[in-house]
Structure 1
């Protein structure tokens, strides 16, 4: 029987208390420095995303500086194209939605609500004031420009806030370039700090985390982008005025199973009924999303995502919302990396637990195999005659 060692127990307790205090201090420092760390976190994320392309160009024979310049230029060009093409299109779509809101209100009041009331017996029209809701949305949209003017005026009056905003915007491309160029150096320096005893385990967990998070960001985001473009163009060809906006919404919600196509179908059918009022355009909307789902299921997801995704959509939503609540925009940026690492650590802990004595119990030293009923060993042998 082992004897208790009070000094050893106290030392273990103090060590755990020290690590707990260190973790709480790091979280407090992260919360305090969140506004300053936001451009660094975003630049590090861009550097991590672009590093595989840089490594591939290096293996093709280009130098590190040339590869970094090419990848950084491509990322900058993609961002400019998104800002130039997508933002004005979304703004026009929202303006069309606000202008056509009376038509949607009339359709809901004259068609949708009477149909629902006739089949459910509920009196919805009596406690819904769509006229007031329409005026509220329109007035808020018209005041959006005034809000932007007020915000810019506040920033201009607050010199420090304006300087911080401009500094963050100006620092972002510079930090992203340096993270992209020196990403391998940062990884080597972090690996050099890991105790040699735990280096194989830490390296394995880091590779699994990188594969999981990389599979989600690179694969799923490509699927969202392709489907958003397909849905938007398809609904525009059908003739919907709000087709691009509905396609973008459906593409953004694609990472949640069933929610992306379901939201797109509902919004597309409503837009077709309000704008045209016939079933021909509704059939066109259903055909667009049907073709998109076939392409996603049989080509996009197996080709771009495969089985690399280990993050459940519910975990992704919770991680992003929790990160934003705790640390603001910085928390939303760090939510997916933290969730991926936590998922890998939980799998590792489960693996260790299933191989532990607590889970498996005391295994017998000798395992007696049961003989098959039809085998001769299953029946007692008669004693041989002497």
Structure 2
């Protein structure tokens, strides 16, 4: 038995070493796996309606391709324009802060904040220019290096191909993996996998759709009121909604500052509050009950820690893997905690270190009655 555990540990160590060394090529396969995981329930539903597996996968694949292309054609150019406008507006925003906000803060606090603000302004402008220069250098380097350009295009081309074949064989792969498990471990492994699927579906299917819907609501509402960078602020607020209330706080703060700076009218703050209040109403009444229900998600602190730790350990691929890995770890920890609560280590009927009750020593009867008189 001990030898078997050593074999399992060695195999796991070799697998981790292997994946750590091929980390640069994992991103397209992981993106394909996520897309296949998101599309598999739709394909299964189409199969129940009488379509073949191949035709169901084709329909789902065409739908995913259409949505991705529509996003790239409509949203990305608009975001690029608004990011460029934001870069042009940063000097004016900094001048307004220095001329209007800092004097009031200085009169209230008595502190000279101009020197520190000038240093922060220079650092911000320098870093912004350096970021633009680095991006231009990277793009130029990629365009000059035919090998890097071919590898980049090849990785993009791999995503739809791998996604299609994973969708086609998803149920078969799951069945083979379950059949390969040791018979003794299968019940526990199946139970853990179902719990992992519940948590993952809550985030990758439910929470992502909630984030997308909130981003669209915020972006459309801010744009209708004529607030600059409405699309950018709305989508970023929707993405930040992966942590409860973070998207609302960030969105109201940024959109409120932009609206006040743009219109100089306090009534526009009410418009911003109305947009985000409507988004929260839709989320609590429609999106959360319909898409998430009573599914168990990750704790907000666990989400923040997982994303930061994944980025620190494995860069962009680590950020992509952070939430699925955190969900699996949470399910495994919950399983171990349940077994611990049932074990004798947690609640033993025998008190460790307790002493046995001493039996009262009986005094032997006196032999005086049995002695013969002298």
**Superposition TM-score tier, normalisation by shorter sequence:** 0.7 to 0.9
CA distance in 2, matches of 1:334, 1:100: 35
1:1-386 alignment, distance < 5 Å: 12=2, 16-129=5-118, 132=122, 135-136=125-126, 139-140=129-130, 144=132, 147-148=134-135, 150-362=137-349
- Give the C-alpha shift of residue 94 in structure 1: 1.2
Work out the CA distance in 2 between the residues paired with 1:88 and 1:235. Answer: 18
1:161 CA displacement: 2.6
With over 3 angstroms needed to count, the CA separation of the structure-2 counterparts of 1:266 and 1:156, relative to structure 1, is closer
Please give the alpha-carbon distance, in whole angstroms, between the structure 2 residues aligned to 1:102 and 1:152.
26
DSSP-derived class of the 2:296 partner: coil
| Structure 1 Cα separation of the partners of residues 266 and 166 of structure 2 | 53
Q: TM-score, normalised by structure 1?
A: 0.84
Q: What is the root-mean-square deviation of aligned Cα atoms in Å? A: 2.2
C-alpha distance in structure 2 between counterparts of 1:135 and 1:46, whole Å: 38
What CA distance in whole angstroms lies between the structure 1 residues aligned with 2:346 and 2:21? 42
Shift of 1:69: 0.4
How far off is 1:27 after superposition? Answer: 1.4
Query: Post-superposition shift, 1:156?
Result: 4.4
Q: Deviations for 1:289-321, whole angstroms, at most 9, x for unmatched residues?
A: 122222222222222222213311221222223
Shift of 1:194: 0.4
How far the C-alpha of 1:247 sits from its partner, in A, is 1.0
User: 1:350 & 1:134 partners in 2: Cα distance?
Assistant: 47
Instruction: Measure the CA separation in 2 of the matches of 1:73 and 1:57.
Output: 14
* Separation in 2, partners of 1:80, 1:206: 33
Higher relative contact order (CA 8 A, sep 6+): 1
SS in 2 for 1:196: coil
CA distance in 2, matches of 1:106, 1:75: 45
CA distance in 2, matches of 1:231, 1:118: 36
**Contact 2:218–2:235 at 8 Å: present in 1 too?**
yes
Show structure 2 runs of 5+ residues with no match: 352-374
Q: Give the secondary-structure state (helix, strand or coil) at the position aligned to 1:62.
A: coil
Q: Secondary structure at the match of 2:346?
A: helix
Question: For 1:120 and 1:259, how far apart are their aligned partners in 2?
Answer: 29
Could you say what secondary structure the match of 2:270 adopts? helix
Match of 2:372 in 1: none
Deviation, 1:332, is 2.4
Separation in structure 2 between the aligned mates of residue 34 and residue 106 of structure 1, nearest angstrom? 44
Preserved contact between residue 220 and residue 231 of structure 2 (Cα < 8 Å): yes
What TM-score results when the alignment is normalised by the length of structure 2? Answer: 0.87
Once residues 314 and 127 of structure 2 are traced to their aligned partners in structure 1, the CA distance between those partners, rounded to angstroms, is 30
1:146-194 deviations in whole A, cap 9, x for unaligned? 6555334423444443332222111111000000110011101111110
Equivalent residues, number: 350
More deviation in 333-342 or 170-179?
A: 333-342
Q: 1:152 to 1:287 in 2, by over 3 A?
A: closer
Contact 1:102 1:134 in 2 (8 A): no
Name stretches of at least 5 consecutive residues in structure 1 with no aligned partner: 1-10, 365-386
Counterparts of 1:87 and 1:246 in 2: how far apart (Å)? 14
**Could you tell me how far apart the structure 1 residues matched to 2:108 and 2:7 are?**
65
Following superposition, the deviation at residue 63 of structure 1 comes to 0.7
Change over 3 Å in CA distance of 1:19–1:225 after alignment to 2: same
Instruction: Indicate the larger mover: 18-27 or 79-88.
Output: 18-27
**Are 1:34 and 1:328, in contact at CA under 8 Å, matched by a contact in 2?**
no
